[in-house]
């Protein structure tokens, strides 16, 4: 049986250039993975490396136990979200498999290109408050696996 890639709703050309993307990547079989600080820290380090390589900034991230949310913005007209996410998933999955012996990510991921009329602040709020909605913490600033690669802890001031 031959596996075929899921058809994109929009053409791949829309994933190149100056855009803001909301991305969600789930773990394989919704397995609880990102409750281990070593695994999360290694993934953040890899995410940073691939951001530098592919010209993206991570405005906010949140590693939930079974998925990760990212709000990323491209920094160059040739920045390619598909290549960036593919390589991040490939390398982080490889490292995880070496460590644990099983696959890290589900196939594909969810993405949303933010339109001009959509307010990024609302997406930041949604991402940062995810651990509160899930009952993991009562205050989003206490969750250890969220932050910003671009703004550091200043990202928490947006909602305070």
Higher pLDDT, 1 or 68: 68
Instruction: From 117, 116, 120, 112, select the one nearest 159 (Cα to Cα).
Output: 120
For residues 140 and 129, give the distance between their C-alpha atoms in angstroms, rounded to a whole number.
Answer: 5
10 pLDDT above the threshold of 60 = no
CA 47 to chain centre: 8
5 pLDDT above the threshold of 60 = no
Res 121: pLDDT: 83
Report the chain's C-alpha Rg in angstroms.
15
Res 3: pLDDT: 42
Res 115: pLDDT: 78
Mean pLDDT in residue range 83-105: 96
Burial class (CB in 10 A: 0-12, 13-18, 19+), 136: middle
Res 61: pLDDT: 97
Report which secondary-structure segment, H or E, holds 149: none
Res 144: pLDDT: 96
- pLDDT band of 12, cuts 50, 70, 90: low
Mean pLDDT in residue range 62-70: 97
Q: Which H, E and C letters describe 62-131, residue by residue?
A: EEECCEEEEEEEECCCCCEHHHHHHHHHHHHHHHHHHHHCCCCECCCCEEEECCCCCCHHHHHHHHHCHH
For the chain, which residues make up each domain, given as ranges?
Answer: 12-158
51 pLDDT above the threshold of 50 = yes
Mean pLDDT in the chain? 88
List of residues 6+ apart from 93 with CB closer than 8 A:
103, 104, 105
For residues 63 and 46, give the distance between their C-alpha atoms in angstroms, rounded to a whole number.
Answer: 13
The residue to which tokens 């969600």 are assigned: 24
Contact yes or no for 55/74 (Cβ under 8 A): yes
To 10 degrees, what angle do helices 81-100 and 37-54 make?
Answer: 150
Q: What is the pTM of this model?
A: 0.88
Domain 12-158 belongs to what topology?
Alpha-Beta Plaits (3.30.70)
């Amino acid at each position: 049986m031959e596996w075929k890639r899921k058809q994109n709703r929009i053409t791949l050309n829309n994933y190149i250039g100056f855009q803001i993307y909301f991305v969600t990547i789930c773990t394989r079989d919704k397995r609880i993975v990102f409750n281990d600080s070593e695994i999360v820290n290694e993934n953040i380090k890899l995410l940073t490396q691939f951001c530098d390589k592919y010209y993206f900034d991570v405005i906010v991230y949140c590693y939930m136990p079974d998925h990760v949310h990212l709000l990323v913005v491209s920094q160059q007209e040739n920045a390619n979200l598909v290549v960036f996410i593919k390589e991040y998933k490939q390398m982080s999955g490889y490292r995880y498999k070496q460590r644990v012996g099983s696959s890290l990510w589900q196939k594909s991921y969810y993405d949303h290109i933010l339109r001009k009329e959509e307010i990024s602040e609302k997406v930041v709020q949604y991402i940062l408050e995810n651990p509160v909605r899930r009952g993991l913490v009562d205050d989003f600033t206490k969750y250890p696996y969220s932050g910003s690669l671009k703004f550091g802890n200043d990202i928490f001031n947006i909602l305070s």
